[in-house]
């Protein structure tokens, strides 16, 4: 079965304003979840996803039809999203961290939120390239060649980033399990 994004560039070239909402529909959630795992924050991921889609639309408005028709849409969108994500992480590291002084309120936490927070914490322990490669491969489901194209890193380096990132995650999870057992 063909990828639904394969035909979009041709359709975008013919009717950008009419077809772009389909791009948002098809790619918005995938971009969000990838950025969510990279940033560790729901609101940041929403903002970055919206900004990536807005920038993509504005860029497409400046492209001629032939360029749009030949576009590899998904890797192109991921390049925009990852650049925004990297910029956000870099800018965030330059700002002072706010510390919550009050204990969090509320009763029982949502198990899905706790698990998501645990994964965010685990992924944040990886280097930037490892986190990006692991998220794009195992959260988003992209192929090695696509990740290479998006990140601008050689295929072998992407494979190494994924391998080392998964090994690091395995080590972290084994340590968590050891602590939980006492």
Task: Find the CATH number of the domain harbouring 71.
Answer: 1.10.1740.10
Among 65, 93, 121, the domain boundary falls at: 93
C-alpha 51/C-alpha 83 separation (Å) is 11
> Do 128 and 158 belong together in one domain?
yes
Q: What is the pLDDT of residues 25-63, one digit of tens each?
A: 999 999 999 999 888 889 999 999 999 999 999 999 999
Among 61, 93, 125, the domain boundary falls at: 93
Q: What is the DSSP string of 15-69?
A: -HHHHHHHHHHHHHHHHHHHHHHHHS-HHHHHHHHHHHHHHHHHHHHHS-HHHHH
pLDDT of residue 136: 92
pLDDT of residue 72: 92
173 part of a folded domain:
yes
Q: Which is it for the CA torsion 55, 71, 19, 27, positive or negative?
A: negative
pLDDT of residue 101: 42
Question: Residue 163: which domain range?
Answer: 113-182
Task: Find the CATH number of the domain harbouring 118.
Answer: 1.10.10.10
pLDDT of residue 4: 65
> Do 86 and 155 belong together in one domain?
no
Among 35, 60, 93, the domain boundary falls at: 93
pLDDT tens digits, the chain, 182 residues: what are they? 456 667 899 999 999 999 999 999 999 999 999 999 888 889 999 999 999 999 999 999 999 999 999 999 999 999 999 999 888 877 766 765 544 444 444 433 444 444 778 888 899 899 989 999 999 999 888 999 999 999 999 999 999 999 999 999 999 999 998 888 87
Q: State the total domains in the chain.
A: 2
Cβ-contact 137, 144 below 8 angstroms:
yes
Structure tokens at 159: 């494979």
30 part of a folded domain:
yes
Q: What is the mean pLDDT of the chain?
A: 86
pLDDT of residue 106: 42
């Amino acid at each position: 079965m063909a990828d639904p994004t394969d035909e979009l560039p041709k359709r975008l070239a013919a009717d950008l304003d009419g077809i772009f909402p389909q791009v948002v529909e098809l790619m918005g959630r995938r971009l969000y979840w990838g950025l969510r795992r990279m940033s560790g924050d729901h609101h940041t991921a929403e903002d970055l996803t919206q900004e990536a889609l807005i920038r993509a639309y504005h860029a497409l408005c400046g492209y001629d039809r032939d360029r749009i028709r030949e576009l590899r849409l998904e890797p192109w969108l991921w390049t925009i999203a990852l650049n925004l994500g990297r910029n956000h992480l870099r800018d965030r590291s330059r700002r002072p961290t706010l510390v919550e002084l009050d204990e969090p309120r509320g009763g029982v936490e949502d198990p899905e939120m706790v698990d998501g927070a645990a994964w965010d914490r685990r992924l944040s322990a990886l280097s930037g390239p490892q986190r990006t490669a692991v998220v794009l491969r195992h959260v988003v489901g992209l192929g090695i060649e696509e990740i290479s194209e998006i990140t601008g890193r050689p295929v072998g380096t992407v494979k190494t980033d994924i391998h080392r990132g998964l090994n690091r995650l395995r080590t972290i999870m084994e340590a968590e399990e050891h602590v939980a057992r006492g």
